[in-house]
Amino acid sequence: MGPRLEELEIPSSPVMHASACWGREVRHQSHDSSRAIAGTSSAVKIKREDVGQFIPFYPDPNDLGIITDGKNIICTDVFCFTDRLETLEDESTREDNECQLLGLMNTLLGGAALLWWNNELNSDSRMVLRQAGLETTMTAMRDRFAPDATEATEKFGAGPLTLKHIAKDEVALTRFIQRKLRYARAMGTLLLSNKNWHGVMTQIWTSTNLGIKHSREYKSKHRRREDRYRSDDRYRSDSRYSHNDRDKSKDKDYKMEDVREKDRHRDEDRDRDRDRKREHRHRDDDYRKEQHRDRAHYFDGEFGEESSYDLDSESLDRSTNEEEEAEQAFLILHRHLTCYKCHKNFITVGKKRSHVQNCTPFKAVQMEGIVTPSPASPTRRTCGYCHKLFGSRNKLFVHLKSCEHAKSSEAEDIEFCFDLGASRTIIHRAFLNTLEHSIEKRNKGRLNGVGKGPKLSEWATFKIFLPGTDLNGKLVLMKFTKSAWVVDVDIPNLLMANDFLHPHEATIDYHAEQVIFAKLDFRVPFECVNRSYACVRKVTTTRKVVLLPGQQA
C-alpha cells in the first residue's frame, strides 16, 4: 500500500508554491510547444502522444495491458502505464519532466481513471499528490487500479498454450508470456523492480505445454549439411593447431616429428584421406538423389500444378531457398531422439535406445495430436436421448426432429448441493431412480455426520447434466458421469463432495454465487438457501472445555 494522503509532509505555503510552479510550467510549455520529446534537455516539452493514455476498462482482446488505436497508445493495465511514465525519468530532467507529467494528468487519464482523478479525489488531495511528486502519484494510482489478485491467480493458471495456437499466430508465444508476466505482477509474485523475473519465467516454462517444450528450430537440408561440414573442419583445425602443440621458440604451428615417423605414418594418412573422400562422395551422391526426388515430386502450392523443373540441370539457388525458408515457421518434434514413454529428449539415437529399454514410467504420456472421430463411428450415429443406433447420420438428424425422449427446455429444476466440507458424494434413492444408473454392492460401513449414520452398501453410477456458462458467457450444458453412495435419509436429492469437485479444481465463489470448474472453463450458477435440517457431528477434544452458564456444546 502507498502512503496515505493525510500523512504526507506538505511544505509551507502549498497554495503559493503550487501556483508558482504551475505558472512556470505554463510559461515553459508556451515557449516550447513545437518541440517533441527527446529526453536529453530540460527544455523539451512532453506530449500526450509520446506517453499514451490510461483507460482501465478499454477493450483489450488479447489481454496484454497495452494496445494501439491508430496512432494512440492506450494502456489498460496500471503497471504498464506507470512503467511508461518511469521511462521518462532522467536524472538531469527529472524535476521538469515530473512537473510536465503532473500538468498533463487530465489528458493522460481517461474513463474510470479520469473519474478517479477529478471526482474521487478532491482539490486538496490532488494538490498533495502534485506536491509529493510523480512517484507518490503512481503509487496511489497502483493502489486504486491494481488488478484483483484472486482473479489474476485464476487467469495465471488458466488458458494453456498449444501448438495449434502458435501455428495460427506466430506471435502467440510472445503474447502468452506477456500475459503471464502481467498476471504475476498483479499477484505480487513479480516485484515492481523485476529482480525475480528469472524465477517467474521458470514457473511459466514449467507450466507450458509438453509439445512446445520439445519443439526445435527447423533447419533445411542445405543448412544441416553445411553445419556438419563446418563442425568437422573446426574439429580438424582445433586438433592440428592447438595451443599446446605450438612451439613458440621456433614460431611453428606444431612440433617437427622425426622423418622416419612421418614416413611410417604417411601410408596410414593416405588411407584415411582416401576413406574420407569416399565418404564425402557417397554423401554428395545421396544429397543429389534427394534433391532429384524432391524436384520430381514438387507441386506448385499457388496454382496446384506440377512445376516444370529441369531435372538434368543444377539451377537450384541455395541462397534463395534459405531466404524463403527463413521467412517460414516450423515446429518439429524429433521423435527419433525422444522417448515415447516419458518424453525425455536425448542427443543421440543410441542413448535414446538404451534409455527406452529400461524406461518404466508410472503412466505413459501421450503425444499431443488432433483427433477427429470418424462420422462412421457408432457414437456419432446414436441418439443421445433414446440411445438408438442408426445406419447414417442423416437418418439420425431426421430422427432427432421427432424423438419422443428429447427433453423439453421447460423441465423443472432439480435441487442439490455442493459441499467442500464433505469428502464423499451421496445421492437419495428416490432421485437416483429418475436417472439412468447402475448399482454395485459394496460394504463401506456407516456415514457419520448425516442423520443417525446410514449404512453404506450400494455404490451407484449415474449421468447428470449441469447448465452453466463458459468464460465468454456462452450457455453450455455439461454432461458428467459420477458415482456416489446411495442413502435413504432425507437429503436434498444429491450432495456433491470433494471427490467430485477436487479433480476438476472446482471452487465456490459466494460473492458471484457461482461454482467455477477451472479445468473445464465452466461456471455453474447457484442459489444459497437456508435448510432446516441440523447437522449432527460428534467431536472429541484433546483438552477439557469449561462451559459458562447458559452455554451448550
**Cell numbers found for residue 513:** 454465487
Q: Within 10 Å of residue 125's Cβ, how many Cβ atoms? A: 14
Q: Nearest 10 degrees: CA dihedral of 346, 351, 356, 358?
A: -120
Q: β-strands 72-75, 53-54: how paired?
A: parallel
d(CA 423, CA 436): 24
At a CB cut-off of 8 Å and minimum separation 6, what does 203 contact? 184, 189
The DSSP result for 401-416, as a single string, is TT-TTPPPTTPPP---
Select from 218, 234, 208 the least CA-distant residue to 156: 208
Taking a C-beta distance cutoff of 8 angstroms, is the pair 365, 210 a contact? yes
Closest alpha carbon to 471 in 507, 511, 517: 517
Query: What does the pLDDT read at residue 278?
Result: 65
Sign of CA dihedral 243, 247, 250, 255: negative
Cα dihedral: 515, 182, 84, 11 (round 10): 70
Chain position carrying cell 503497471: 79
* Spatial CB neighbours of 68, under 8 Å, sequence gap ≥ 6: 74
Regarding pTM above 0.85, the answer is no
What gap in Å lies between CA 526 and CA 535, rounded to an integer? 21
What would the grid cell of residue 440 be?
454395485
How far, in whole angstroms, is CA 135 from its chain's centroid? 32
pLDDT of the residue at 274: 64
CB under 8 Å to 429, separation ≥6 — which residues?
A: 486, 487, 488
35's CB contacts (< 8 A; 6+ apart) are 43, 44, 45
Nearest to 407 by CA among 370, 433, 434: 434
pLDDT at 194: 75
In b/e form, how buried is each residue of 280-296, taking b as 16+ CB within 10 angstroms? eeeeeeeeeeeeeeeee
Tell me which amino acid residue 394 is. Answer: N
What letter represents residue 374's amino acid? S
Where helices occur in 426-484 by DSSP H, the ranges are: 429-432
**pLDDT value of residue 337:** 78
In which residue ranges of the chain is pLDDT below 70? 1-43, 89-91, 159, 210-211, 213-335, 361-375, 405-413, 448-452, 529-539, 553
Residue 78 near residue 146 (C-beta atoms within 8 A): yes
pLDDT (0 to 100) of residue 318: 46
